[in-house]
Amino acid sequence: MRVSHHRCSLSTTGPCSRASQVADLFPTVSPEIVVREARLEDCWEVADTHCSSFFPDYSFPLQFVLRVDRLLAMLSRLTIPNGCRRTFLVAVIGSTVDQTFYIGSEDFKIGGSDGNLSLNRGNVAGILTLDTVANFLPRKGPLRQRRTGIAYVSNVAVRERFRQKGIGKRLVAKAEAQAVSWGCRSIALHCDSNNPGATKLYKGQGFKSIKIPEGANWPRPKTSPDIKFNFMMKLLNTPNTT
* Ranges assigned E (strand) in 132-219: 150-158, 186-192, 208-209
Calpha distance 205→198 (Å, rounded): 11
Calpha distance 108→181 (Å, rounded): 22
**202 catalytically annotated:** yes
Handedness of CA 109, 112, 116, 117 (dihedral sign): negative
Longest dimension (CA), the chain: 67
Active-site residues, by number, are 202
